[in-house]
Structure 1
Amino acid sequence: MIGGAEIAAPRLEPALYLVATPIGNLADITLRALETLAAADILACEDTRVTRVLLDRYGIRRRMLAYHEHNEAEAAPRLVAMVESGQSVALASDAGTPLVSDPGFRLVQTAQERGIRVVPVPGPSAVLAALTAAGLPTDSFMFAGFLSSKAGQRRSRLETIQSVPATLVFFESPRRLAESLAAMSQTLGDRQAVVARELTKAFEEVRRGSLGELAAHYGEVGAPKGEVVICVAPPGEETTTGAEEVDRLLLALAAEMPASKAAGEAARMTGGKKSELYQRLLVLKEEGNAR
Structure 2
Amino acid sequence: MTEALSSIAIYVVATPIGNLDDISQRAMKILKNVDLIAAEDTRRARQLLQQIGREKVELISYYDHVEAEKAPIILDRLQRDNLSLALVSDAGTPCVSDPGYRLIREAKRRGIPVHPIPGPSALTALVSASGLPSDRLLFVGFLPTKRAALVREVGSWRNVRASIVFYEAPRRLAQVFKVIEDLYPNAELVVGRELTKLHEEILMTDIQGARAWCHDHEFLKGEATVMVSLGRDAETPEVQAAEAAHEIASEAIQLFKGGATLKDLLQKFRDRGLSRSDLYQLLLEAKEASDDT
Tell me if both proteins adopt one fold, taking TM over 0.5 as the criterion.
yes
Deviation at residue 80 of structure 1 after TM alignment: 1.3
Provide the identity percentage.
41
1:31-180 alignment runs, 5 A limit: 31-61=25-55, 62-85=57-80, 86-180=82-176
Deviation at residue 220 of structure 1 after TM alignment: 4.2
Total equivalences in the alignment: 231
The 1-side partners of 2:217 and 2:29 are apart by: 43
Contact 1:168 1:233 in 2 (8 A): yes
Deviation at residue 234 of structure 1 after TM alignment: 4.4
Deviation at residue 58 of structure 1 after TM alignment: 1.1
Deviation at residue 10 of structure 1 after TM alignment: 4.7
Q: For structure 1, which segment, 86-95 or 186-195, has the greater mean C-alpha deviation from structure 2 after superposition?
A: 186-195
Deviation at residue 55 of structure 1 after TM alignment: 0.6
**SS at 2:74's partner residue?**
helix
Structure 1 position 20 matched with structure 2 position 14: yes
Contact 2:193 2:225 in 1 (8 A): yes
Unaligned runs of 5+ in 1: 1-7, 239-291
The 2-side partners of 1:87 and 1:143 are apart by: 34
Letter in 2 for 1:23: I
Contact 1:18 1:92 in 2 (8 A): yes
For residues 99-157 of structure 1, the C-alpha deviation after alignment (integer angstroms, 9 at most, x for no partner) is 11111111111111112211111100000001111100111111111111211100001
Q: For structure 1, which segment, 156-165 or 91-100, has the greater mean C-alpha deviation from structure 2 after superposition?
A: 156-165
Deviation at residue 221 of structure 1 after TM alignment: 4.2
Letter in 2 for 1:227: E
Structure 1 position 205 matched with structure 2 position 201: yes
The 2-side partners of 1:160 and 1:89 are apart by: 39
Deviation at residue 82 of structure 1 after TM alignment: 2.6
Letter in 2 for 1:142: L
The 1-side partners of 2:175 and 2:69 are apart by: 37
The 2-side partners of 1:199 and 1:220 are apart by: 19
- Structure 2 vs 1, CA of residues 148 and 155 (structure 1 numbering), >3 Å: closer, same or farther? same
Contact 1:76 1:107 in 2 (8 A): yes
Deviation at residue 227 of structure 1 after TM alignment: 2.0
The 2-side partners of 1:196 and 1:237 are apart by: 24
The 1-side partners of 2:6 and 2:205 are apart by: 47
Contact 2:188 2:231 in 1 (8 A): no
Unaligned runs of 5+ in 2: 235-293
Contact 2:95 2:101 in 1 (8 A): yes
Contact 2:14 2:88 in 1 (8 A): yes
The 1-side partners of 2:233 and 2:132 are apart by: 9
**SS at 1:162's partner residue?**
helix
Contact 2:166 2:227 in 1 (8 A): yes
The 2-side partners of 1:148 and 1:11 are apart by: 40
**SS at 1:203's partner residue?**
coil
Contact 1:82 1:89 in 2 (8 A): no
The 1-side partners of 2:189 and 2:170 are apart by: 16
Letter in 1 for 2:148: G
Deviation at residue 188 of structure 1 after TM alignment: 3.1
The 2-side partners of 1:237 and 1:179 are apart by: 20
The 2-side partners of 1:70 and 1:9 are apart by: 34
The 2-side partners of 1:9 and 1:49 are apart by: 28
Contact 1:164 1:235 in 2 (8 A): no
The 2-side partners of 1:15 and 1:221 are apart by: 44
RMSD value over aligned CA atoms?
1.8
- Structure 2 vs 1, CA of residues 105 and 11 (structure 1 numbering), >3 Å: closer, same or farther? closer
